Structure 1
Amino acid sequence: MGDTTQEPHVELPGPAEFHDPLIRNEVKRASVWFGTALLIAGVIFLAQPLLLIIGGLVFAVLLDGGTRLLGRWLPIARGWRLLMVVLAAFGFLGWLFYFAGTTFAAQFEALRAVVEAQAGRVYSWAFDHGLVSEGSPDTLGQQVLGSVGRLTSAVGTALGAVTSAFLIIVIGIFIAVEPRLYDRGVAWLLPMRHRHRFYQIGDRVGFTLRRLLFGRIVGMVVEGLFTFIMLAYVGRLFGVDPIPMAALLGLLTGVLAFIPNIGAITSGVLMVAVGFSAGTSEGLWAIVVYFAVQNIDGYLILPYIARKTVDLAPAVVLAAQLIFGALFGFLGLLFADTILAALKVTLQEFAGQRAGGDDGSESAPLPEPASGASSA
């Protein structure tokens, strides 16, 4: 037999071993850029599921805010308060869809016909004054009301996307039921020295979004009811006949008020188009009502919300809506301002902690996260 003695195996450096500090630093930099590119690509290709998750978080904020509000008057367990809020929300949505389905089904088709007819009138006026030389009323309608048409079609698609709405609702309920579980799950991915800061930022973002969305709901209710009352009843005091489809216009104004800027423009275009379809005085009254609604929203509701939350410049919000809408479609447009508010609060918290000398390096004791932290 041969000699079975084996010499000790010596491990030699492979091609992945970098001992030169310069090469190590360059590899780290390249890894950061490569990871950033992968992150951007992932956001683009996974935009739809990410926005569904964001929608679930926004819905969780609404549920959490209602649960906290009930807690001021009902000293019962959080689970029971959350159940009351969920049942109230589903009851209202069920009534709304039933009422809209039985009352407004025919009016939606009439509204579309009115908007198309008004677009044809605008085209004729523009052609007579030499503003357009060729095309058709449909072409002009797409040019003048292009964004409105895309938005209304997107709204119709969103209302028909039962699966997406169901996923948003389910995600929101799961997060609202046990928000601390998801807080800890995300914090577990971070180093120990950064978890205290994560909880602080999460609490602040959750607080801001709760106030922002509460003010948004108040604005939707006020604008919808005010529009309906002004179009249906108040106009009679000035000799103006009730505007057709006043209830439908009030409902659309209230729903579209959830989308700042673009929602107001869309509801205004629809309101004025329906008003002029009934007559010149009705059209002028619709313009008056539109500006009255926007002044109430701009000078009463929005300043109050800004004092309680984060002040976002309207131009910045509009730019974010255009960018998110172009990149991610209707859901991006719908959640653009909430995403922007969360980013601004996060950056403000980072800036405040840096200015205060808190770099997060100390191992601070981990606080128990607030129940709304993960709702951010």
Structure 2
Amino acid sequence: MAEQDYQPGPTEISDPRLRFEVQRAGIWIGMLVLVALTVVLAAPLLLIIGGMVFAVLLDGGTRLLGRWLPIARGFRLAIVILAAVAFLIWTFYYAGTQLVGQFAELRDTVMMQANRLFEWLGTSGLMPEADFSALSGQVFSSIGRVTSVLGSAIGALTAGVMIFVIGIFIAIEPKIYDRGVAWMVPIRHRSKFFEISDRVGYALRRLLAGRILGMAIEGIFTYVMLAYVGTWFGLDPVPLAAMLGLLTGLLAFIPNIGAIISGVLMVAVGFSAGTETGFWAIFVYFFVQNFDGYVIIPLIAKKTVDLAPALVLAAQLIFGTLFGFLGLLLADPIVAAIKTTLEEISARRKGEGSEGAEAPAPAD
């Protein structure tokens, strides 16, 4: 064989220090490629994450139903899925038959109140030459850019169907997907992976259960107080109480931002019916939000992941700007999963360190 066959090629690096630097550069390049792929594939990744969150919700309902209905898990899951489908059908039917007109009225009312506000600011000199049409055009165009991941109403519906289907498939047999991910983890770390995965699932189930409870309480309280409680004090019912209650309950799934949006809508509709009704709407908003913040959320936080409001808001702004409305919607569960994972890893490292510190020194 020729002597040149044993000579090093151009890709061979004999210097160990240079080889180490090349390996480090390869790791950094790989991380940059991974980040780039994550940004490019943001839409399908968020759909998968949304499906996983929905699967956790279905699994939590299945486990909860098992406390009172001792039947096979498949039957309990089928009951939960049918209940979810029935609720969605009822919501769309109710919204389609009774709330469509109210939604149009709500939009016109908010636009009218906003025009009045900007006219008052213009006449007061606080905002000279206030042009609400131009401002609203800028707002809605920015919202359109933020929600570009979903694209359109058809895209949003398609995304919802995909999340629903993915969630059902994962909820049917979640252990299969756990084992599939664990297969990519080194064997010595797989037991820890399963323990952390179980802990994250437990925390997310509690988080979503508490969130749904809060949504129901906020929606019902808002509707009852706007439609009925005000009449006890001689006030007229707030218009569009059913629509405002439904929107408040749905928007409660998005902490911080959802409460602000529902509050603006509630106050705008309240003042459209009169000054007293407007102040009553302000009272209802603050009462419901304070009851949720000082009673419901602390009770939920004791049973699940306690997330700092500033951390959640920062995550919502970042995910909403980068990934659109779906990123905003999933920011809270993603942050909760990351925090639970980091806490479990930190706790296990401390445990391993303490065990190592207590171990006796080897004999000479």
What TM-score, normalized by structure 1, do the two folds share? 0.89
Q: Which deviates the most, 14-23 or 136-145? A: 136-145
Deviations 1:190-224 (CA, angstroms, capped at 9, x unpaired)? 11011111111101110000000000000000000
Matched, 1:184 2:217: no
Who is 2:264 aligned against? 269
Aligned-partner residue type, residue 341 of structure 1:
A
Task: Note if contact 2:211-2:253 (Cα within 8 Å) is conserved in structure 1.
Answer: yes
Who is 1:116 aligned against? 111
- SS in structure 1 opposite 2:219? helix
- SS in structure 1 opposite 2:237? coil
Rounded to whole Å, the distance in 2 between the matches of 1:254 and 1:147 is 25
Which residue of 152, 157, 163 corresponds with 2:158?
163
Who is 2:286 aligned against? 291
Deviations 1:247-303 (CA, angstroms, capped at 9, x unpaired)? 000000000000000000000000000000111011000000000110111011110
Rounded to whole Å, the distance in 1 between the matches of 2:95 and 2:243 is 8
Matched, 1:316 2:311: yes
- SS in structure 2 opposite 1:266? helix
Higher normalized helix content (fraction of residues): 2
Instruction: Mark the CA change 1:314 to 1:233 in structure 2 (over 3 Å): closer, same or farther.
Output: same
Task: Note if contact 1:64-1:176 (Cα within 8 Å) is conserved in structure 2.
Answer: yes
Aligned-partner residue type, residue 337 of structure 1:
D
Matched, 1:57 2:57: no
Instruction: Mark the CA change 1:275 to 1:154 in structure 2 (over 3 Å): closer, same or farther.
Output: farther
Which residue of 35, 42, 59 corresponds with 1:40?
35
Who is 1:209 aligned against? 204
The answer for unaligned runs of 5 or more in structure 2 is 355-364
Report how many residues are paired: 354
Rounded to whole Å, the distance in 2 between the matches of 1:249 and 1:204 is 36
Task: Note if contact 1:120-1:141 (Cα within 8 Å) is conserved in structure 2.
Answer: no
Instruction: Mark the CA change 1:285 to 1:160 in structure 2 (over 3 Å): closer, same or farther.
Output: farther
Rounded to whole Å, the distance in 1 between the matches of 2:87 and 2:285 is 26
Q: Report % sequence identity.
A: 63
Q: Which deviates the most, 12-21 or 290-299? A: 12-21
How many Å apart are 1:32 and its aligned residue? 1.1
Instruction: Mark the CA change 1:322 to 1:146 in structure 2 (over 3 Å): closer, same or farther.
Output: farther
- SS in structure 1 opposite 2:255? coil
Aligned-partner residue type, residue 314 of structure 1:
P
- SS in structure 2 opposite 1:304? helix
How many Å apart are 1:160 and its aligned residue? 6.2
Instruction: Mark the CA change 1:12 to 1:278 in structure 2 (over 3 Å): closer, same or farther.
Output: same
Task: Note if contact 2:147-2:324 (Cα within 8 Å) is conserved in structure 1.
Answer: no
Who is 1:195 aligned against? 190
Of structures 1 and 2, the one scoring higher in RCO (CA 8 A, sep 6+) is: 1
Rounded to whole Å, the distance in 1 between the matches of 2:250 and 2:229 is 22
Aligned-partner residue type, residue 13 of structure 1:
P
Instruction: Mark the CA change 1:286 to 1:146 in structure 2 (over 3 Å): closer, same or farther.
Output: farther
What TM-score, normalized by structure 2, do the two folds share? 0.91
RMSD (CA atoms)? 2.5
Rounded to whole Å, the distance in 1 between the matches of 2:144 and 2:271 is 19
Matched, 1:91 2:86: yes
